Structure 1
């Protein structure tokens, strides 16, 4: 009787860990849309800072922790009364996301929080007639974010994300908020 009980308990414990450990780490790559807004701490309101594309790579270690690397662009232009402004920016981000992937019938969903490092480069050009002036700046800072990733079937995913960064240096003091939506392939 003791042998049967011991065997039953051992089998139950081993199969529980085998079932709980069915997650396989996954790579993913995606392409998406990004939109950037800025706000200055001493000025009310936000300004549209352009839209662009985003290329991202991610790797999930388990249902909770993943890492991400992305490259995004934002471009915008505006003009009135002969005065034209052109903006071109890029961001490179490395981060980790922490959440929990819920497995549902045919798809999964993972709400998460993210923290990482962003390097942002920007060039602004202002022109009036034949005259023009340009200004560039680069900065690196920590950012935080929140998002939700949905996976459909075995290979398709979408990611909806908001990232928040604050730049404060001799040249600029701004809040940068980025929204992105990515569709990609996981393998």
Structure 2
């Protein structure tokens, strides 16, 4: 009886290991992220991104992504034109843990959590220009402008859900957060906040 039980346990663990190994592979996808906030510009519209990942098994994975972002905002009041623009890159790498459940023949659904880091860099311009029409004749415009570069490394977390189809096409939806120390936050126009991302790609 003990031998039968031992054989059953070994067979069960072997089957689980084989199924886990069968899930291993590379992922490549493209999509968009929305919710990024920048000083003077507010919340940016959806920004394009590419991503890659590797699944070691059904539990552990590593993910990387590169997002190109840009935005511009100008507002006119009775006394001034003010606004600005920014552009740059957000590169991330994260470790992921979860479990890919087989919900149907060849269909896998993985809820997951991820922890990693981001390098965010770019340039920003801001301006506050007084309009001539709002000033007495012969008065000079008031111009307050700034331009410069920014760069920093920050902690990231994410929680998401990834559906993989029998033909290898996958869809991934996630909520991700960017965290900064007080010292980091005063050195960059990018704000600490939560973002939403969606990606479609192929798992090899």
TM-score (norm 1): 0.82
Which residue is equivalent to 1:124?
124
Asked if 1:148 corresponds to 2:161, the answer is yes
From the superposition, tell whether residues 163 and 101 of structure 1 become closer, same or farther in structure 2 (CA, over 3 Å). Answer: same
Q: Is the 8 A contact 1:51 1:73 kept in 2?
A: no
Which residue is equivalent to 2:44?
49
Higher mean alpha-carbon deviation, 166-175 vs 30-39, is at 166-175
Q: Is the 8 A contact 1:108 1:151 kept in 2?
A: yes
Asked if 1:115 corresponds to 2:115, the answer is yes
In structure 1, runs of 5+ residues without a counterpart are 41-45
In structure 2, runs of 5+ residues without a counterpart are 132-142
Query: How do 1:18-29 residues align onto structure 2 when only pairs under 5 Å count?
Result: 18-21=14-17, 22-23=19-20, 24=22, 25-29=24-28
Which residue is equivalent to 1:176?
193
* Helix, strand or coil at the partner of 1:104: strand
From the superposition, tell whether residues 120 and 39 of structure 1 become closer, same or farther in structure 2 (CA, over 3 Å). Answer: closer
Q: Residues 102-126 of structure 1: CA distance to partner in whole angstroms, max 9, x if unpaired? A: 1111411111111001101132223
From the superposition, tell whether residues 88 and 51 of structure 1 become closer, same or farther in structure 2 (CA, over 3 Å). Answer: farther
Q: Is the 8 A contact 1:51 1:76 kept in 2?
A: no
Which residue is equivalent to 1:134?
147
Q: Residues 18-42 of structure 1: CA distance to partner in whole angstroms, max 9, x if unpaired? A: 32122221110001111133389xx
Q: Is the 8 A contact 1:38 1:48 kept in 2?
A: yes
Q: Is the 8 A contact 2:38 2:44 kept in 1?
A: no
In 1, distance between residues paired with 2:188 and 2:125? 16
Aligned length: 177
From the superposition, tell whether residues 63 and 14 of structure 1 become closer, same or farther in structure 2 (CA, over 3 Å). Answer: same
TM-score (norm 2): 0.75
Q: Larger radius of gyration, structure 1 or 2?
A: 2
